Amino acid sequence: MVINGRPLKHQTMNSVAQHKIGVAEIFHLFKDDFLKLYPQPAEHHQVMHLIQACRTAKLGGHLQTCDHCNFSKPMYNSCRCRMCPQCQSLKKERWVSARKNELLPCSYLHGVFTLPHEINILASRNKDIIYKTLFTAVAQTLQKFALDSLKGQLGFISVLHTWDQKLNRHIHLHCIIPAGAFGRAQSKWIPSKRDDFLFPVRALSKVYKAKFIQMLRQNFEKLELPNHLQKPEDFNNFLDSLWNKKWVVYAKQPFKGPEKVIEYLGRYTHKTAISNSRILKIQGNTVTIKYRDRRDNNTEKNMEINGSDFLRRFMLHTLPKGFHRIRHYGFLAHRFKNQNIEAIYKALQKCRPQSSQQLNAVSFFKTKFNIDITRCPQCKKGTLCANSRPPP
């Protein structure tokens, strides 16, 4: 049996544990059954095609030849799809490095704003509106508290996550927030009163909840609603019921510093809900994955999922085309970010550290895995050079 251009060691689907498996292999095995049960829009079909074709001859590539022993091997192109577990590692490392270069000489806080699971019924058909509303409600809430409490403007980075460890929909926003505000008119830095505290989370939760529900109410005519919510009175009753739900807001100083939070978020900024390393085996019609149980002291456990249901959960987290998962706000917004950071360093009478150089693929593998990808794997002496396209 051949999957994704590579032969499996077994001739049946009964056990694929011996083969290095990933999301692409699961699509090859279960996509037809999945599509019969859960028809998908055209843009999802494109995502599935790219994941299956990633790093295979379908996307083309080049032939690398050793300049010492003439050993050759084909290198196939990546799909660069942001849903693909194999892609964008280099892009992620560049993002992490760039964010570290922008860190201010102050303490940071890590904030998380969640949506109650009752919103999921709306998110399934209205991803764009729900996700945009979440970003806007959180940004307006944080800036309102900054203006009232610190008399300045916050700068923060927000990253959207839509999953939990079991691939279920769990919509929440991570925020990396410097503990202070920038008085733009006076070009001064206004620190928070405590390094480990910015605003009271209960008050944040109430304002954030009110803003989100108000924006949903205003978007009633734009939303694609299930039958039982299509009447205005039914929709308003649904929104009123959300007031009694718990809207979790978490804000705490990073345990190991802001660099670690950026690295943690970097795992998800350019990738999706599950990495291939978490997929343990495929046996029969089930896929076994490992996950961490947050309710059981973060204990690592295994879980079996039907192959079609695995793909259903995986595709829940496909973002609308052109949607930005990472957004920068306040004095860290892209347009004036560098000028504002320079002004803050000047106000604090400190020198801004020199930026590190941007990583390329060779330096990325060297620093991250101590692997020289240009070294010939056969003779260990020569250098691999791209000189032609591989044969079909």
In a domain, 257, yes or no: yes
Q: Is residue 45 part of a domain?
A: no
Q: Is residue 267 part of a domain?
A: yes
Say what the pLDDT of residue 192 is.
92
Number of domains into which the chain is organized: 1
- Other Cβ atoms within 10 Å of 342 Cβ, number: 11
Distance CA 105, CA 349 (A): 10
Instruction: Measure the CA–CA gap between 107 and 253, rounded to whole angstroms.
Output: 8
Domain for residue 44, yes or no? no
User: Residue 18 domain-assigned?
Assistant: no
**Is 301 among the domain residues?**
no
Distance CA 274, CA 288 (A): 12
Q: Which two tokens stand for residue 125?
A: 């058909």
Quote the radius of gyration of the chain (alpha carbons, Å). 24
User: Residue 298 contacts by C-beta under 8 Å, 6 or more apart in sequence?
Assistant: 292
Query: Exposed (0-12), middle (13-18) or buried (19+): which is 295, by Cβ within 10 Å?
Result: exposed
Angle between helices 307-315 and 42-53 (to 10 degrees): 110
Name the amino acid, one letter, at 284: G
Q: What is the pLDDT of residue 19?
A: 46
**pTM for this structure?**
0.88
* Residue 363: inside a domain: no
Is 288 domain-assigned? no
End-to-end CA distance of the chain: 20
Mark out the alpha helices in the chain (DSSP H runs). Answer: 23-37, 42-53, 89-101, 120-123, 127-149, 201-218, 232-242, 258-269, 307-315, 337-347, 361-369
Q: What is the pLDDT along the chain (392 residues), one digit of tens a residue?
A: 334 444 443 333 343 333 468 999 999 999 999 999 999 999 999 999 999 999 998 988 888 899 889 898 888 888 989 899 888 778 888 888 888 889 999 989 999 999 999 999 999 999 999 999 999 999 999 999 999 999 999 999 999 999 999 999 999 999 999 999 999 777 899 999 888 889 999 999 999 999 999 999 999 999 999 999 999 999 999 999 999 898 999 888 776 777 877 887 777 677 788 999 999 999 999 999 999 998 888 899 999 999 999 999 999 999 999 999 999 999 999 989 999 999 999 999 999 888 777 777 777 777 777 888 889 989 988 888 887 666 66
Range of the domain at 251: 89-273+317-347
